């Protein structure tokens, strides 16, 4: 899959019907737990042009789980159509958080049918809170569908949109001992000279995280690429070593 093929993810339209009952219930439920006095500060912190309702993330997650239990999803197609509709029609950032949180369910875990949604989140969200939130889902897909996800993440690592590159670098954060070091090196390598803050931070974060499992490998990688690693990436990589 090439970067141009990746862009097709952003044009994908799910074929299933939405969970209308869930969609109708979400906004009123979020309104009930909103702290409106915090909304402006949350938007300022995230530098978000999309307003907030003022609902802390734990409350969003609790609300999503309760409503999904009350209005269960019949299948992955319905889940996919619903998260796409929710993301597209969202008026407040918490609604987009809710769409991402819905994929973190028994029905959604490791489901390749949700990959187009993750592509939409990265390609249209284009901010760290959204991109970082789908990274664990990408890790699940990689572990279960390696033949598809390995080449895709390598293609994302050279995408013209640096948010796809960030996603490829941090996709294995939860993998621990299951981290594919060849893939990790393969997605970091093309980005070592990148001056973008969010890429340099991602490289350091990915290395630091794997350092908890294999500190010697990380030390060796940092030493081998000392001339290319930015001070930020190096500092982050060795922070706890």
pLDDT of 44 above 50: yes
- The CATH class, in words, for 3-125 is mainly alpha
* Long-range residue pairs from 149-155, CB within 8 A, at least 24 positions apart, any chain: 150/180, 150/183, 151/1, 152/1, 152/6, 153/183, 153/187, 154/183, 154/186, 154/187, 155/1, 155/2, 155/3, 155/5, 155/6
| Per-residue model confidence (pLDDT) at position 16 | 79
Whole-angstrom distance, CA of residue 7 vs CA of residue 171: 18
Domain boundaries, the chain: 3-125
Measure the N-to-C terminal CA separation of the chain; round to a whole number of Å.
37
Whole-angstrom distance, CA of residue 168 vs CA of residue 159: 10
For the chain, what is the radius of gyration of the CA atoms? 19
- What share of the chain has pLDDT > 70, as a percent? 96
Give the mean pLDDT of 29-56: 98
pLDDT of 51 above 80: yes
Q: Would you state the torsion angle of the CA atoms of residues 45, 51, 57, 63, taken in this order, to the nearest 10 degrees?
A: 170
Average pLDDT, the chain: 95
Task: Tell me the pLDDT tens digit for each residue of 85-135.
Answer: 999 999 999 999 999 999 999 999 999 999 999 999 999 999 999 999 999
pLDDT band at 1 (very low <50, low <70, confident <90, very high): very low
Question: In the chain, what are the helix, strand and coil shares in percent, each to the nearest 5?
Answer: 70, 0, 30
| Per-residue model confidence (pLDDT) at position 4 | 57
Whole-angstrom distance, CA of residue 182 vs CA of residue 137: 20
């Amino acid at each position: 899959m090439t970067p141009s093929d990746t862009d097709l993810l952003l044009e994908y339209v799910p074929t299933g019907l939405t969970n209308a009952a869930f969609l109708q219930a979400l906004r009123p439920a979020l309104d009930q737990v909103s702290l409106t006095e915090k909304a402006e500060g949350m938007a300022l912190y995230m530098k978000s042009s999309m307003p907030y309702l003022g609902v802390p993330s734990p409350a969003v997650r609790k609300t999503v789980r309760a409503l999904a239990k009350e209005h269960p999803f019949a299948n992955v197609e319905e889940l996919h159509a619903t998260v796409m509709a929710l993301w597209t029609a969202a008026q407040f950032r918490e609604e987009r958080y809710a769409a991402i949180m819905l994929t973190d369910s028994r029905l959604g875990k490791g489901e390749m049918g949700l990959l187009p949604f993750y592509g939409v989140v990265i390609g249209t969200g284009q901010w760290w809170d959204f991109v970082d939130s789908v990274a664990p889902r990408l890790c699940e897909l990689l572990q279960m569908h390696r033949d598809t996800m390995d080449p895709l993440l390598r293609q994302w690592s050279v995408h013209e949109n640096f948010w796809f590159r960030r996603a490829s670098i941090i996709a294995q954060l939860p993998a621990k001992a299951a981290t594919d070091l060849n893939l990790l090196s393969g997605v970091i390598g093309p980005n070592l000279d990148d001056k973008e803050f969010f890429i340099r931070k991602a490289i350091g974060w990915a290395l630091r995280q794997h350092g908890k499992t294999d500190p010697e490998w990380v030390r060796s990688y940092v030493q081998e690429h000392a001339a290319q690693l930015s001070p930020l990436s190096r500092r982050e990589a060795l922070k706890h070593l």
